[in-house]
């Protein structure tokens, strides 16, 4: 089989840039709309890393069918995140952070994401916690709007370190076999470099599931 599935759910509070990110993957226009329900994008992609492979590698010819699930960010719609995680059998969660928004609210949203992920594993909490110890899922913290931090990676590091360390550590303890990654991007940046970084997120999720 030369096609593999990659199911990714994108969550985060309103306005962090979830829909913009999905549109970048889609290659569509970046006009602004408010997401009120789960929106599913299916796209077959070849990752940039694949084209660099040798012709003798099957990976060079593989296509990934990416299901990107874009969730609404309003707190009253957080339960949709749970529905999305469960329904689309999410392999990777991209939790987007906006460095210009209230961090306390975003931290709570990340805790909620962790709880929802747990709930997808079992109805019984203790059983779910047990299953979480072996769960294979990628949790990707994505600081967006790097342009508003003057493209300064250290400032993005600081945002994570100062506001999300405790929650992030809690997530790692709860899902110790999961893939824990983070990156900083600008979803509106039209340059190839920016596109490669976005591509790299999917490449990482792919790697964790199929090659690690």
Question: Between residues 32 and 55, which has the closer beta carbon with respect to ligand GDP?
Answer: 32
| 73 touches ligand GDP (CB under 6 A) | yes
Question: Between residues 41 and 63, which has the closer beta carbon with respect to Mg ion?
Answer: 41
| 35 touches Mg ion (CB under 5 A) | yes
User: Sign (positive/negative) of CA torsion 123, 133, 197, 6?
Assistant: negative
Question: Between residues 118 and 159, which has the closer beta carbon with respect to ligand GDP?
Answer: 159
Question: Between residues 144 and 163, which has the closer beta carbon with respect to ligand GDP?
Answer: 144
| Site residue total, ligand GDP (CB under 6 A) | 18
Question: Between residues 94 and 121, which has the closer beta carbon with respect to ligand GDP?
Answer: 94
* 3-state secondary structure string across the chain: CCEEEEEEEEECCCCCCHHHHHHHHHCCCCCCCCCCCCEEEEEEECCHHHHCCCCCCHHHHCEEEEEEEECCCCHHHHHHHHHHHHHCCCCEEEEEECCCCCHHHHHHHHHHHHHHHHHHHCCCHHHHHHHHCCCCCEEEEEECCHHHHCCCHHHHHHHHHHHCHHHHHHHHHHCCCCEEEEEECCCCCCCHHHHHHHHHHHHHHHHHHHCC
Radius of gyration of the chain (CA): 17
Figure out which of the listed residues 120, 144, 167, 204 binds ligand GDP, where binding follows CB under 6 A.
144
Give the Cα separation of 163 and 25 in Å (integer): 28
Q: Which two tokens stand for residue 174?
A: 């709860």
| Rounded least distance, CB 82 to ligand GDP, Å | 18
Figure out which of the listed residues 124, 127, 147, 157 binds ligand GDP, where binding follows CB under 6 A.
147
| Rounded least distance, CB 165 to ligand GDP, Å | 23
Question: Between residues 40 and 188, which has the closer beta carbon with respect to ligand GDP?
Answer: 188
* Cβ partners under 8 Å of residue 85, min gap 6: 9, 93, 116, 117, 120
| 13 touches Mg ion (CB under 5 A) | no
Q: Which stretch binds Mg ion (CB under 5 A): 4-12, 16-24, 93-101, 197-205?
A: 16-24
| 35 touches ligand GDP (CB under 6 A) | yes
| 160 touches ligand GDP (CB under 6 A) | no
Q: Which stretch binds ligand GDP (CB under 6 A): 18-26, 85-93, 127-135, 164-172?
A: 18-26
Binding site for ligand GDP (CB under 6 A): 12, 14-20, 32, 35, 73, 144-145, 147-148, 186-188
């Amino acid at each position: 089989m030369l096609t593999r599935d990659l199911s990714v759910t994108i969550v985060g509070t309103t306005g962090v840039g979830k829909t913009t990110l999905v549109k970048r993957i889609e290659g569509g226009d970046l006009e602004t709309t408010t997401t009120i329900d789960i929106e599913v994008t299916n796209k077959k992609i070849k990752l940039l890393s694949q084209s660099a492979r040798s012709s003798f590698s099957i990976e060079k010819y593989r296509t990934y069918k990416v299901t990107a699930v874009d969730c609404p960010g309003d707190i009253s719609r957080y339960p949709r995140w749970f529905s999305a995680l469960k329904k689309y059998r999410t392999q990777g969660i991209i939790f987007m952070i906006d460095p210009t928004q209230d961090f306390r609210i975003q931290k709570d949203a990340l805790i909620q994401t962790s709880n929802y992920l747990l709930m997808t594993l079992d109805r019984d909490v203790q059983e779910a916690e047990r299953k979480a110890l072996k769960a294979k899922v990628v949790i990707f913290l994505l600081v967006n709007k790097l342009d508003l931090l003057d493209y300064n990676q250290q400032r993005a590091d600081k945002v994570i370190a100062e506001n999300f360390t405790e929650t992030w550590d809690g997530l790692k303890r709860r899902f110790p076999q999961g893939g824990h990654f983070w990156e900083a991007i600008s979803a509106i940046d039209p340059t190839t470099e920016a596109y490669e970084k976005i591509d790299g997120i999917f490449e990482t999720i792919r790697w964790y599931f199929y090659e690690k």
